[in-house]
Structure 1
Amino acid sequence: MRKKRADYVLALKGNQGNLYNDVKLYFNDTEFVAKCDYTKSIEKARSGIEKREYWQTDDIAWLAKKKEWTGLKSIAMTKNTITKNGVTTTETRYFISSLPLNVKEIARAIRSHWMVESYHWHLDVTFREDGNHTIDKAAAYNLNIIKKLAINTLKLLDVGRKNVSLKSKRYMISLSTEKYIEKIMQI
């Protein structure tokens, strides 16, 4: 990816051993976090309030695994706090990146990546994409396009009830196609 001059923002996970632990320890130190660039956003989403906080630093000279990552320029942390029906949950994630210090840019990149992951999750849950064993590459490509079109259509389709999953919408349509075909064609 760096050979093609693309930047990267990669989520760290516990199975990455010392790299994950080192970055996590850095961001757990309040003195270091206070020196990081910071931004946040608060929005209403999925019938709750989501607060997304982002910290980024280019203070990575101390990072032992730095040489293993071509172009590594910064590390980042996100803390997503969701309050829904009086219950608050918080998720903290850590990242390495080839992006220079610009916390708004890294926040955009992390958020964009989440949207792509969400889309792939919908493909798998709604259409069992991961279980697709189509051998012909052209057929697999065409099926993928049709499934993405169907997901976008399902997202836009009003079935008369709120908070209906895409999988449920698909099932409802299969039970009474005549009822929904006109609405689908108007999308």
Structure 2
Amino acid sequence: MFYTVNCRVQRAILDKGANYLLGLKKNQPTLYAAVEDYVQAEGANPDNLTCDYFDDTHGRLVRRRYFVFDTPEHIKALGFSEMNTVIATETISSSPYKEGISAEWRYYITNNDKTNTQLPRFIRDHWQIESTHWLLDVHLNDDKDKKYSKNAAENFAKTKRFLLNMVKLRPPKGKKRSVRANLKLVGWNLDYLEELIFS
């Protein structure tokens, strides 16, 4: 499970017998700074590297490295006593659309053991969900869409996700276009709309 850091959420998850994976944000300055300082002091050494891979989709080259650390007592003392592992992810990316190379660090805490090989997948799965929400908001104005009828909100949400998935799975033949352009094409081109629905 993945949530923004909140001690009550962590406690509720543990009370249900589940595991948690919490992303740290700078609005929790004490915990964020403690974890960041600890990771920098430990260093990004090969002993802590659990996953290192490259991704060249979407027209950019991305390297993601995942480092895992045992949680020291001074961080546990900040209110997360059952925290076992600190995870640091480094994302290095270059894009033909932007000049230079960017690097970003993100930090996570979990009660999973650092030997759990699924931790990087849990983090990536979360970001795929965030990416879908971003696409729905940017291309279909999902955050501004207000429905007050009992079932309308759920029906429209499912319809939007269905449309987004169809456009991503079956882009029109010929020139490569953005998701936004393909969504517009659905409304402009009856042949493409029929292809999506009936093929």
Task: Decide: shared fold, TM above 0.5.
Answer: yes
Compute the displacement of 1:3 (Å). Answer: 2.5
Q: 2:76, 2:83 within 8 Å by CA — same for their partners in 1?
A: no
Residue 180 (structure 2) aligned to one of 151, 156, 167: 167
Percent of residue pairs identical: 26
**1:93 is paired with a residue of what secondary structure?**
strand
Q: Which has the higher helix share?
A: 1
The alignment yields a C-alpha RMSD, in angstroms, of 2.1
Aligned to 2:86: 75
Question: In the alignment, what sits opposite 1:9?
Answer: 21
- TM-score normalized by the length of structure 1: 0.86
| Equivalent position SS for 1:124 | helix
Classify 1:70/1:140 alpha carbon distance in 2 versus 1 (closer, same or farther; 3 Å). Answer: farther
Contiguous gaps of at least 5 residues in structure 2: 1-12
| SS across alignment from 1:100 | coil
Higher relative contact order (CA 8 A, sep 6+): 1
Whichever residue aligns with residue 134 of structure 1, its letter is K
Residues 71 and 83 in structure 2, CA contact (< 8 A), matched pair in contact too: no
Residue deviations 1:131-156, cap 9 Å, x none? 12212342211211111111100102
> Cα 1:80–1:134, aligned 2, differ >3 Å: closer, same or farther?
same
Deviation at 1:97, TM superposition (A): 1.2
Label 1:140 to 1:128 Cα distance change in 2 as closer, same or farther (>3 A): same
Cα distance change of structure 1 residues 104 and 49 upon mapping to structure 2, 3 Å threshold:
farther
1:91/1:167 CA distance change after superposition, 3 Å = same
CA separation in 1, counterparts of 2:69 and 2:31?
A: 15
Q: CA deviation at 1:74?
A: 1.2
Aligned to 2:55, the other structure's residue is in SS state strand
Cα deviation per residue 1:55-92 (whole Å; 9 max; x = unaligned)? 111232121554x2363221110001112237321111
Give yes or no for contact 2:76–2:82 (8 Å, CA) kept in 1. no
Q: 1:129 matched to which residue of 2?
A: 142
Amino acid at match of 1:19: L
Corresponding residue SS for 1:46: helix
1:104 to 109, 117, 126: 117
Whichever residue aligns with residue 175 of structure 2, its letter is R
Q: Superposed, which structure 2 residues align to 1:7-156 within 5 Å?
A: 7-29=19-41, 31-34=42-45, 36-63=48-75, 65-66=77-78, 68-69=79-80, 71-85=82-96, 87-102=100-115, 104-156=117-169
User: Is the partner of 1:104 in helix, strand or coil?
Assistant: coil
Runs of 4+ in 1 over 3 A off after TM superposition: 31-35
SS in 2 for 1:14: coil
CA distance in 1, matches of 2:44, 2:101: 23
Unaligned runs of 5+ in 1: none
Deviations along 1:103-157, one digit per CA (max 9) or x if unpaired, are 6321111111111111111111121111122123422112111111111001023
Q: Tell me the TM-score normalised to structure 2 length.
A: 0.82
Change (3 A) 1:137 1:57: farther
